[in-house]
């Protein structure tokens, strides 16, 4: 299958995008230009004149990648239960996000990409105005599925860090800090694959030297080789799911034209019976799944009412339970007391996993590293999800856990 990869940077229709044509597992052409002209330019440079299937790559900073345990074996039941499993990891309302699910892994976890609905709809409008119908919408971090190796992808000024079960977007200024945390958690990693330029390779080597890590092999790969290594693009984790799934109207039309009136009538009767039975079964299963999920919800929040924001309710319960000697209170004091310029945007406490997510602004990367050091000195584990420069401050989202 011949693929047209398109990497967009934001929702501005005037912004330039990058594109690559992949034919027979090789990059045959590439370039930059406006989104509205990408398909025509790519077709002109392609070896074959056949239509190219577009695969759009959104910035990794737009999505939250997590792996969660979701009860259920069928895809329908997993999708129904997904919001209950994903919500504790969010810093925004569950109704404001779109969740894309991958296949259930052998260890029982499900990989998920979460994106703000308004942002995703803005990208979809951008593609529609440009006349592009993506076969797959994903991110560069999803192009490879590393096992033991750690993957760094350079696109623009940000660096995507991908491990076997997590993804983070960081700036070069905090690469060493993030590598330190990641290498301590992913201690089985013995090599790092850098996808990008020599500057990324040099920054990674400096970070490893600074951390005094031995026996770490560092390889430099081109972004083109990463694209060419995707064996089945349609198997990538695709954001076009649920209400955002694409409809293949051509197949439906062909099936309708090939059916006779008699066969169509029989199918309608049979389908009506099947749908009626399936509807009853689906209602029973949905009610069972909801009751099961509400039982779990009630065990955490002591209520079966799901109105309001359960994250805020957990914060209230956390404040009522902890005493002055609690490590969590010491943690918050170490963050808030760092400087007067630290602004906490959101707290997300997961009682069952004993984890806390914090989103905050710091006045500089130096201040961010100071906060990370204070947290580690408390004996906690810190995972950096995002740390990037915004205006004159540093915005970060981290996940903290007890050892």
Q: Any bridge partners for residue 34, and if so which?
A: 16
* Distance (Å, whole) CA 289 – CA 81: 7
pLDDT band at 42 (very low <50, low <70, confident <90, very high): confident
Residue 264 scores a pLDDT above 70: no
Q: What is the mean pLDDT of the chain?
A: 80
**Range with the poorest average pLDDT among 32-41, 253-262, 371-380:** 253-262
pLDDT in tens, 184-194: 655 555 788 99
Q: Which helix (H) or strand (E) holds 62?
A: none
Contacts of 350 (CB under 8 A, 6+ apart): 88, 89, 314, 356, 357
Q: What is the pLDDT of residue 211?
A: 81
| Spatial CB neighbours of 218, under 8 Å, sequence gap ≥ 6 | 191, 192, 194, 201, 204, 205, 208
Q: What is the average pLDDT across 125-139?
A: 94
Which pLDDT score, from 0 to 100, does residue 50 have? 66
Predicted confidence at residue 321, as pLDDT, reads 45
Would you say residue 109 has pLDDT above 80?
Answer: yes
CA–CA separation, 334 and 390 (whole Å)? 23
d(CA 218, CA 211): 14
Region of poorest pLDDT, from 162-171, 211-220, 333-342: 333-342
Angle between helices 310-321 and 261-301 (to 10 degrees): 20
Q: Average pLDDT in the 47-72 region?
A: 85
Helix (H, G, I), strand (E, B) or coil at 159: strand
**Does this model's pTM top 0.85?**
no
Q: How confident is the model at residue 270 (pLDDT cuts 50, 70, 90)?
A: confident
Structure tokens at 113: 């990409």
Q: Is the pLDDT reported for residue 223 higher than 90?
A: yes
Query: What percentage of the chain has pLDDT greater than the value 90?
Result: 26
Least confident of 59-63, 81-85, 293-297, 375-379: 293-297
Instruction: Tell which wins on pLDDT, 106 or 177.
Output: 177
Residue 131 in this model has a pLDDT that exceeds 70:
yes
Closest CA to 380 of 334, 318, 321, 327: 327
Q: Which of 200-214, 279-293, 349-363 shows the lowest per-residue confidence on average (mean pLDDT)? A: 279-293
Among 40-44, 101-105, 225-229, name the most confident range: 225-229
Q: Above 90 in pLDDT, residue 6? A: yes
- Residue 117 CA to residue 139 CA, distance in Å, equals 16
What is the average pLDDT across 101-121? 87
Residue 252: predicted pLDDT: 39
The pLDDT tens digits of the residues spanning 319-365 come to 544 444 456 666 666 666 655 567 887 787 777 778 888 888 888 88
Confidence class of residue 251 from pLDDT cuts 50, 70 and 90? very low
Q: What is the dihedral of CA 216, 67, 395, 211, to 10 degrees?
A: -20
Report the percent of the chain where pLDDT is more than 70.
77
């Amino acid at each position: 299958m011949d693929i047209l990869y398109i990497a967009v940077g934001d929702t501005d229709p005037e912004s330039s995008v990058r594109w690559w044509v992949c034919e027979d597992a090789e990059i045959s052409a590439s370039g930059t230009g406006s989104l509205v002209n990408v398909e025509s330019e790519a077709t002109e440079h392609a070896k074959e004149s056949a239509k190219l299937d577009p695969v759009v790559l959104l910035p990794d900073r737009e999505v939250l990648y997590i792996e969660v345990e979701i009860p259920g074996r069928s895809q329908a039941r997993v999708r129904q239960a997904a919001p209950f499993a994903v919500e504790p990891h969010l810093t925004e309302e569950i109704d404001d996000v779109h969740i894309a699910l991958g296949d259930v892994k052998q260890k029982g976890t499900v990989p998920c990409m979460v994106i703000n609905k308004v942002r995703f709809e803005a990208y979809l409008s951008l593609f529609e105005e440009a006349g592009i119908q993506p076969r797959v919408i994903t991110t560069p971090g999803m192009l490879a599925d590393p096992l033991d190796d750690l993957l760094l992808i350079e696109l623009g000024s940000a660096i995507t860090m991908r491990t076997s079960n997590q993804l983070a977007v960081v700036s070069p200024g905090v690469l060493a800090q993030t590598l330190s945390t990641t290498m301590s958690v992913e201690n089985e990693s013995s090599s790092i694959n850098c996808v990008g330029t020599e500057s990324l390779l040099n920054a990674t080597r400096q970070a490893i030297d600074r951390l005094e890590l031995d026996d770490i092999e560092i390889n430099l790969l081109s972004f083109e080789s990463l694209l060419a290594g995707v064996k089945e693009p349609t198997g990538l984790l695709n954001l076009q799911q649920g209400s955002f799934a694409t409809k293949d109207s051509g197949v439906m039309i062909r099936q309708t034209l090939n059916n006779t009136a008699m066969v169509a009538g029989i199918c309608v009767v049979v389908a009506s019976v099947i749908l009626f039975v399936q509807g009853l079964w689906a209602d029973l299963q949905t009610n069972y799944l909801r009751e099961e999920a509400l039982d779990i919800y009630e065990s955490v929040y002591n209520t079966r009412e799901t109105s309001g924001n359960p994250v805020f309710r957990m914060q209230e319960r956390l404040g009522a339970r902890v005493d002055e000697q609690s490590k969590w209170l010491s943690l918050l004091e170490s963050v808030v007391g760092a400087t007067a310029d630290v602004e906490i945007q959101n707290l997300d406490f997961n009682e069952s996993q004993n984890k806390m997510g914090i989103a905050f602004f710091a006045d500089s990367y130096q201040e961010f590293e100071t906060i990370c050091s204070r947290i580690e000195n408390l004996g906690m584990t810190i995972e950096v999800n995002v740390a990037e420069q915004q205006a004159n401050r540093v915005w970060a989202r981290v996940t903290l856990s007890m050892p």
